[in-house]
Structure 1
Amino acid sequence: MMNLIQTAYSKAEARYVATNAASRAAHETATASLPGGNTRSVLHWEPYPLCISSAKGYTLRDADGHTYVDLLGEYSAGLYGHSHPVLLAAIAETARRGLSYGGPHVAEARLAILIKERFRSIERIRFTNSGTEANLMALAAAKAFTGRHRGKIIVFNGSYHGGVLTFPFGCQDVWGVKGEVKMESKYEVLRALNAPHDFLIATYNDTASVDALIASVSGDDIAAILLEPMLGSGGGVCATLEFLSHLRRRADELGALLILDEVMTSRMYTGGGIQSELNIRPDLTTLGKYIGGGMSFGAFGGRHDVMALFDPRASGSLPHAGTFNNNVLTMNVGVAGLERVFTPEKARELHDLGDEIRGRINSFKDGVLRPGERRLRVLGCGSILVFHFTRTSLENIASPADWKGDEDPRLLDLLHLEMLNDGFYLARRGYLALSLALLSQDGRKELDRFVDAVQRFIVKFQSELIGE
């Protein structure tokens, strides 16, 4: 069975290489200056990635002249699609007035107000340049506010909170090791790359694992619980209301802060994040991705008393520097996007479209699962969809462990190349983030075509999917 998958993949890869010579040449040129020809690891795939030359609406064009429907959506940062006229006008007008002021301007306060209107838990907010920075600042705020300057942070196996806050599935045992760690596995290397907080790794959607960790240390040692309400890099698993409610209760009991990382999920429902639908009120929320209208953006905000730590008018306040925190281009374009494009009504429409596409694909081959048969399962929430090939039913997936055990990643590699061949651009790991551009009549037709392409893939590679 392994040979069946490998044979199918080798054929798809050979076709990819034969039709993407210019991308290959661009990659080889880049390797002379960039390690592996790359400065953003997630965008690399074997044998080499496509070199994108232009983008418009919901389409991308590569160096070889191929056009693709963009279903990756810049890992959720590309919510507006490409070259939206409202955003282009805001960019042009801002550039006309000057790009760097070195002083406050009205757009930063306006963007803050717009975000507060959508996130009831955010009473005050500060801007950063990325979601990674936002999470680093939120953790710093939690330690300062609780007075637990060397406090422990509870995070979850399979979570991702930025380039220096990554906890891939399988890291749990390594992070639990005390003292010096030898660099013998990728998890140990990642531990060295992470910011040097004292992390406790719990199991997602498992209240008992959280309680066990809390019981293993002094409650006064825990400064924060940091959580994605949907695991982004971790495969699209969503937190249950019961789990989030338990974390809220335990944080209160400990005197720790509950931080919701909605960098990827702030787009959900009517644009107020997953917390809005589940009515969970975190102490702090972190944001990023699309809110800057396509510019570099991050933010952290929440309770007034916590955020008051950063009020420069107060004696002993915490400094929070960053040359581009209030970048005039990011602020103005972000305002234009939230006011005039990504309205709550459009947010809901996009959310519902994603749920519709997920439901259609998950309905394929409905019936009794034969022994040993893998099926395509689509996880995620709203307009973020994550594909998996697993024997585990959707209702039994509560953490990455539930699909990691039997998923062959080469099936995702094969799906990726086959979808590229059909003109659809998505992440190698089976991740999709739909953009507003796909709400158009033509965009919806392309999504229909994508659903058909996925169904053809399942039929074509049925033997490979069944597995041993």
Structure 2
Amino acid sequence: MSPLDAPARNSDLDAALAEARERYTAQRPRSAAIHARAREVMPGGNTRTVLFYTPFPTAMARGEGCRLWDVDGHEYLDLCGEYTAGLFGHSDERILAAVREALARGVNLAAVGENEGRLAGLIVGRFPSIELVRFTNSGTEANIMALAAARAFTGRRTVMVMRGGYHGGVLTFPVGGSSAVSLPVPLVFADYNDAEGAARAIREAGESLAAVLVEPMLGSGGCIPARPEFLAALRGATRETGALLVFDEVMTSRHGPGGLQQRTGVIPDMTTLGKYIAGGMSFGAFGGRADVMSVFDGHRPGSLPHAGTFNNNVLSMAAGCVAMGEIFRAEAAEALFARGEALRERLNAACARAGTAMHFTGVGSMTQPHFRRGPVTQPYAETPAEAGLRELFFLDMLEARVYIARRGMTALSLPVTEADCDRYVAAVEEFVAARRPLLPEA
């Protein structure tokens, strides 16, 4: 009998959550012990907030392909995909070989190398908006440096962001609140997918506005795609006022050979990248128009500095050349996009058959469930019931041995097969059938 079959577990959300947490805890004594020891020396017991959840996070021991094994011996289908950074899975031999070869030649050389130019060439040749590019250690750093470039180039200070947007740990803008760790940059806010309102706000900011920073699909904000008219309105209004349009494609650049900008046809002035580009190594990049990026040209007097000990580290450069030059070519990007589109259609069809309003949003290989009627076009503050259902979904997927992000997001990696997608659809079908009394009506 399925662990979800007992009727008592499905009659009350609080009771269902309590039992799911109890099962989770009972199955993971070693993870619990690891967490307890970590709490003695780390606040909260970890060093990456997105990986924290109660009662304690599952500790993983190893990964291979799109499979993970935790310290208590459970095997999972990994659909979290390291929050899109794990595009190539955990053990692609071509990437491992490139890293081993780089290690054999020395780790920290404090010098330029041939691979950074090679990787830059691959990126410039791929993304329509990028004429020149520089590297960072993360997507967060890439967004910080892109804003620095925009402010220096325009001579302006203010930046427009979207409510619900996320551009890194120090550039996060939750709906209905604020983040104390965000950088103290003068900000103007707009609502995602509100074309008229955003364009009006850009015009009102006028000559004070340096840049508009936006994800062409919200990632952490719920895998909500931008409407074409919204992106077009941002493009038009920024051209009118002289502000730079910056696409954060740290997550969404996987959705086509040239990212979502190529797929939508809306070309920004600058683009930020990260996550998978270096084959899963630490990496970020920002690039764009040559005149904008030339503010960093060291051959020019008064150029902007851009430090970073590991910006061109040999591991990321070597892995990136293989990842982007040999593996994630145009045909691989299109095939992954198509697989993800088909999967999301199947998930929504399963929810519709069950008569529930649970709805999956996303683009291509990224998707996220929402426990409300679709379409979902803007980020929102969850109700307590929605938050509870999201946790229950996460715990039930772990019970089915499917590893997803705590918020429910999935990001397919290249090793994921059609059979793996079938497995996830079956797990969701079981969830909506067993938890039907707790889910919202269609």
Tell me the SS of whatever aligns to 1:118. coil
Structure 2 match to 1:195: 183
- State the one-letter code of the partner of 2:90: H
- 1:330-380 Cα offsets, whole Å, 9 max, x none, are 0011101112211111111111111111000111253796xxxx5221111
**Deviations for 1:440-465, whole angstroms, at most 9, x for unmatched residues?**
xxx32122011011001101011000
**Alignment RMSD (CA, Å):** 1.8
Does residue 427 (structure 1) correspond to residue 405 (structure 2)? The answer is yes
Following superposition, the deviation at residue 3 of structure 1 comes to 7.2
CA contact (8 A) 1:388 1:407 kept: no
Contact 2:351/2:358 (<8 A) preserved = no
CA distance in 2, matches of 1:368, 1:70: 25
Identify the residue that residue 459 of structure 1 maps to in structure 2.
433
Q: Aligned AA for 2:217? A: M
Residue type of the alignment partner of 1:436: L
Whole-Å separation in 1 of the counterparts to 2:69 and 2:96: 19
**Residue identity in the other structure for 2:345:** G
Counterpart of 2:273 in structure 1: which amino acid?
A: L
Give the Å deviation of 1:269. 2.2
Q: Which amino acid aligns with 1:198?
A: P
Contact 1:156 1:204 (C-alpha < 8 Å) held by counterparts: yes
Correspondence for 1:383 among 365, 382, 386: 365
SS in 2 for 1:169: coil
C-alpha displacement of 1:214: 3.5
Matched, 1:418 2:396: yes
Number of residues paired by the alignment?
434
Matched to 1:27, the amino acid is H
Matching residue of 2:87: 79
Secondary structure of 1:388's aligned partner: strand
Aligned to 1:266: 253
Task: Map 1:444-455 to 2 at 5 A.
Answer: 444-455=418-429
Q: Are 2:232 and 1:232 equivalent residues in the alignment?
A: no
Q: CA deviation at 1:222?
A: 0.6
Contact 2:86-2:413 within 8 A present in 1 as well? yes
1:220/1:2 Cα in 2 relative to 1: closer, same or farther (>3 Å)? Answer: farther
Partners in 1 of 2:351 and 2:304 — Cα distance? 57
Secondary structure (helix, strand or coil) at the match of 2:245 reads: strand
Partner of 2:415: 437
Corresponding position: 1:165 with 2:171: yes
- SS of aligned partner of 2:125: helix
Q: Deviations over 1:295-323 (max 9, x none)?
A: 11000000000011101011111111111
* Residue identity in the other structure for 1:289: K
* Aligned partners of 1:158 and 1:167 also within 8 Å: yes
Could you tell me how far apart the structure 1 residues matched to 2:46 and 2:80 are? 18
The offset of 1:98, in angstroms, is 1.1
Q: 1:293 aligns with which of 274, 279, 282?
A: 279
Give distance in 1, aligned partners of 2:194 and 2:232. 12
Q: Distance in 1 between matches of 2:202 and 2:428?
A: 44
> Does residue 277 of structure 2 align to residue 303 of structure 1?
no
- Is the counterpart of residue 116 in structure 1 residue 124 in structure 2? yes
How far apart are 1:212 and its partner, in Å? 4.1
Any stretches of 5+ residues in structure 1 without a counterpart? 172-186
What letter corresponds to residue 195 of structure 1 in structure 2? L
**Letter in structure 2 aligned against 1:341:** I
- Alignment-derived partner of residue 139 in structure 1: 147
How many angstroms does 1:64 deviate by? Answer: 0.3
Please say if residues 229 and 238 of structure 1, whose CA atoms lie closer than 8 Å, have aligned partners that are also in contact: yes
Tell me, yes or no, if the aligned pair for 2:224 and 2:379 is still in contact at 8 Å.
Answer: yes
Deviations 1:373-396 (CA, angstroms, capped at 9, x unpaired): x52211111001111110x222xx
Number of the residue aligned with 1:175: none
Aligned residue in 2 for 1:343 = 329
Map of 1:393 onto structure 2:
374
Maintained 8 Å contact 2:215/2:247: yes
Q: CA deviation at 1:238?
A: 0.7
Alpha-carbon separation, structure 1, partners of 2:321 and 2:388: 42
Superimposed CA distance per residue, residues 112-159 of structure 1 (whole angstroms, 9 cap, x where no aligned partner): 1111121011000000000000000000101100011xx211100100
Please report how far the alpha carbon of residue 2 of structure 1 lies from its aligned counterpart in structure 2 after TM superposition.
11
Question: Within 2, Cα distance between the matches of 1:407 and 1:115?
Answer: 43
Q: What letter corresponds to residue 134 of structure 1 in structure 2?
A: A
Q: Percent identity?
A: 47
Flag the 1:466–1:316 CA change in 2: closer, same or farther, 3 A. Answer: closer
Distance 1:215 1:406, change over 3 A: farther
Shift of 1:466: 3.2
| C-alpha distance after superposition, 1:173-229 (max 9, x if no partner) | xxxxxxxxxxxxxx3xx1x31111111110001023224434554x11111000000
SS of the residue corresponding to residue 392 of structure 2 reads helix
What is the rounded CA distance, in whole Å, between the counterparts of 2:219 and 2:305 in structure 1? 31
TM-score between both structures, scaled by the size of structure 2: 0.95
Q: Is 1:223 aligned to 2:210, yes or no?
A: yes
Q: Do 1:350 and 1:383's aligned partners in 2 also have CA atoms closer than 8 Å? A: yes
Q: Which amino acid aligns with 1:387?
A: P
Q: Please, which of 74, 96, 100 is the counterpart of residue 108 of structure 2?
A: 100
Q: Report what 2:264 is aligned to.
A: 278
